[in-house]
Amino acid sequence: MIRYILRRLLISIPILLIGSFLCYVLVATAGNPLAEMRAKPGVTEAQVQQVANELGLNRPVLVRYWDWLTNFVQGDWGTSVALGQARAEVQPAIMDALWTTGRLVLGAELLALTLGVAVGVLAAVKQYSIFDYLATSTAFLMFSMPIFCVAVIIKNYGIQFNNVLESIGLQRWLTTAGPREGGFSGSIGDAIFKYTGTFLLPTVSLMLISFAAYSRFERASMLEIMHSDFVRTARAKGISQSRVIFRHAFRNALIPVATLFSLNFGAVFAGAIITETVFGWVGMGTRLVEAVRNFDPSMLMGWLAVTATMVVLFNLVADIVYGILDPRIRLG
């Protein structure tokens, strides 16, 4: 098992290196932060040259990439050219954003996975029942839904729900524009109230889309396995229905979902960016939009590198889970 994990880890390092290099070249060729600076009124050529020297923009791309890489792995991610007047460090800005987005993604993905698998299994076991039709059509509908529309709809019904709460004399519960100021202080009940109010709507919006994919996938793979020979053999031996479903079918039906989970991560991350934008959270989405608007190379590179690393890490986790679920992969 350890050898298997190590092998997966070793494969991902060169891919990350090549990926980061290509991203660097792209960022370096796609835009020129100096041109953006020059376009601003009241900026003299001397100031532009000074920034160019500070950022090392006068040197060849390969050298700059190497510098960036060595600095990056040592924790120096460069400074932003845009964030406010004082040049901000990229690393804290991105780490803050990652924390915001990460909480959202993790919660939503765990919920989506649990619910999706449960619904998928139930739909497969009770194939062609009302529950199955309901689950399948909901999943199909959500699968075809643009996530930003879902988020907008949920947000606005949240606002109306708050209005209703207020009209019957209660406190507004759901937060629809940015995370609550001042953290989750107060008594335990108060903190839970604030916490759920803040996370509920964005998490649900993000969850719905992944949930659709997981339940569809789980249903399909569960159905396939329920019709396979070894399940029929288990039934023929007289093993109880629940044991057949959970011991024989369910475990094997999880394998394709593990693949989907790892392949899906990039899409979920993109979904999180959009959800955040709608709900006004300052997370990775806001950072990306800002960095692209101002054409901020250090910020963009930090963003790309962190995101790519997250995807690789998730793939690794999925691979390990995959290895646990399926001995053929671990030993093969």
Partner 1 sequence: MANVNLTSASLPPAGVGTDSSHEFDAATTRTQGQLVLRRFLRHRMAMISFGVFIALVVFAFIGPLVWSYDFEDVSSKAYQAPSIGHPLGTTQVGKDMLALLMRGTGYSLQIALVVAALATVIGVVFGALAGYLRGFVDNALMRLVDLMLIVPQIAVAAIVVKGFSGSWYVVALVLAAFAWMSIARITRGETLSLSQREFIEAARACGATTPRIIFKHLVPNMIGSITVNATLAIAAAVLTEAALSFLGLGVRPPDTSLGVIVQENYGQFLNRPWLFWGPFVVLVSLSLAVNFIGDGLRDAFDPRQTKVRA
Q: Where along the sequence are the contacts to partner 1 (CB under 8 A)?
A: 11, 15-16, 18-19, 22-23, 26-27, 29-31, 136, 140-141, 143-149, 152-153, 156, 159-160, 216-217, 219-221, 223-224, 227, 263, 266, 269-270, 273-274, 277-278, 285, 288-289, 292-293, 295, 300, 303-304, 307-308, 311-312, 315
Residue 208 and residue 103: Cα distance in Å, rounded? 16
Residue 181 and residue 60: Cα distance in Å, rounded? 45
Task: Please state the φ and ψ torsions of residue 79, each to the nearest 5 degrees.
Answer: -115, 150
Residue 257 and residue 113: Cα distance in Å, rounded? 9
Nearer to partner 1, 76 or 224 (CB): 224
Contacts of 175 (CB under 8 A, 6+ apart): 197, 198, 201, 279
Nearer to partner 1, 74 or 160 (CB): 160
Nearer to partner 1, 194 or 323 (CB): 323
Q: Is the backbone of residue 78 left (phi > 0), alpha (psi -120 to 50) or beta? A: left
CA atoms within 13 A on the CB side of 69: 16
Minimum separation from the CB atom of position 168 to partner 1 (A): 19
Helix (H) or strand (E) holding 39: helix 33-39
Helices (H), 60-187: 61-73, 90-125, 130-143, 147-167
Nearer to partner 1, 103 or 269 (CB): 269
Cβ 92 vs Cβ 81: under 8 Å: no
Residue 208 and residue 198: Cα distance in Å, rounded? 17
Minimum separation from the CB atom of position 82 to partner 1 (A): 13
Nearer to partner 1, 128 or 188 (CB): 128
- 3-class SS at 79? strand
Minimum separation from the CB atom of position 192 to partner 1 (A): 28
Minimum separation from the CB atom of position 2 to partner 1 (A): 22
Q: How many CB atoms lie within 10 A of CB 61?
A: 13
Nearer to partner 1, 102 or 266 (CB): 266
Nearer to partner 1, 55 or 196 (CB): 55
Minimum separation from the CB atom of position 189 to partner 1 (A): 30
Structure tokens at 60: 């060849």
Minimum separation from the CB atom of position 249 to partner 1 (A): 14
Minimum separation from the CB atom of position 10 to partner 1 (A): 13
Structure tokens at 287: 């950072």
Nearer to partner 1, 44 or 144 (CB): 144
240 burial via Cβ count (<10 Å: 0-12, 13-18, 19+): exposed
Minimum separation from the CB atom of position 100 to partner 1 (A): 17
Closest residue by Cα to residue 273 from 262, 264, 281: 281
Nearer to partner 1, 21 or 193 (CB): 21
Minimum separation from the CB atom of position 46 to partner 1 (A): 26
Structure tokens at 217: 């996938």
